[in-house]
Copies of this chain bind each other. A is one copy, B any other.
Amino acid sequence: MRIGILGVGTVGASVANILKDNKDIITARAGVELEPVIGLVNNLNKERNVSIKLTTDVDEILNDESIDIIVELMGGIEKPYEVVKKALEKGKAVVTANKALLAYHRYELQDLAGDTPFEYEAAVAGGIPIINALRDGLTANHIESIRGIMNGTCNYMLTKMINEGVDYHTILAEAQELGYAEADPTFDVGGFDAAHKLLILGSIAYGIDAKPEDILIEGIENIAPADIDFASEFNYSIKLLTIAKKVGTKIELRVHPVLISNDEMIAKVDGVMNGVSVIGDKVGETMYYGPGAGGDATASAVIANIVDIARRGKGSPMLGFESSHGENLTLMPKEEIQTKYYLRLKIEDKAGVLAKVSNIFADKNISIEKMIQKPLKNNCAHLLLSTHTCIEKDINEALKTLEDTSVVTDKPVMIRIED
Quick check: which of A85-93, A235-243, A287-295 contacts chain B, the rest being far away?
A: A287-295
Let me know if B137 and A129 touch, CB within 8 A. yes
If A283-B297, A321-B25 touch, does A307 touch B140 (CB 8 Å cutoff)? yes
Name the residue among A29, A296, A322 with the largest chain B CB count within 10 angstroms: A29
- Residue numbers in B under 8 Å from A28 (CB-CB): 321-326
Binds B, one of A104-112, A298-306, A402-410: A298-306
- Nearest residue (CB) in B for A289 is B287
Inter-chain contacts of A283 with B (CB < 8 A): 127, 290-291, 296-297, 300-301
Oligomeric state, in number of copies?
2
Q: How far is the CB of A158 from chain B (nearest CB, A)?
A: 17
Partner of A139, one of B127, B286, B307: B307
Q: Which of A325-359 contact B (CB under 8 A)?
A: 325-327
Q: Is there a chain B Cβ closer than 8 Å to A78's Cβ?
A: no
Chain B nearest CB: distance from A87 CB in Å? 22
Which chain B positions have C-beta within 8 A of A312?
312
With A and B bound together, what is the CA distance between A312 and B135 in angstroms?
A: 13
Pairwise interchain contact B282-A297, C-beta atoms closer than 8 A: yes
Task: Give Cα A291–Cα B265 distance, bound, in whole angstroms.
Answer: 12
Determine the residue in chain B with the shortest Cβ distance to A274.
B286
Query: Considering only CB atoms, which chain B residue lies closest to A24 in the complex?
Result: B325
Q: Would you call A30 and B322 a contact (CB within 8 A)?
A: yes
4 shortest interchain CB distances as A-B pairs: A129-B137, A28-B325, A286-B290, A140-B303
Interface: A22 (CB within 8 A): yes
Known: A140-B18, A142-B22, A289-B287. A29 touches B133 (CB 8 A): no
Chain A interface size band reads 35 or more
Q: Is A165 an interface residue (CB 8 A)?
A: no
**A311 contacts across to B, CB distance below 8 A:** 322
Given A280-B300, A282-B299, A300-B282, A139–B287 Cβ distance below 8 Å?
no
Residue A281 lies at the interface, judged by CB distance under 8 Å to chain B: yes
List 18 A–B pairs whose Cβ atoms lie within 8 Å, in order of A's numbering: A22-B140, A22-B141, A22-B142, A22-B281, A24-B327, A28-B323, A132-B132, A132-B136, A133-B137, A139-B308, A140-B299, A140-B301, A265-B273, A283-B290, A284-B290, A285-B291, A286-B290, A286-B291
User: Does A268 touch B at the CB level, under 8 Å?
Assistant: yes
Q: Is A138 in contact with chain B by the CB < 8 A criterion?
A: yes
Q: Does A69 contact B (CB under 8 A)?
A: no
Binary interface profile of A, 243-277, with partner B (CB < 8 Å = 1, else 0)? 00000000000000000000001001100010000
0/1 string, A97-137, CB within 8 A of B gives 1 = 00000000000000000000000010000011100110011
Q: Is A27 an interface residue (CB 8 A)?
A: yes
Bound-state CA distance A321–B27 (Å) is 8
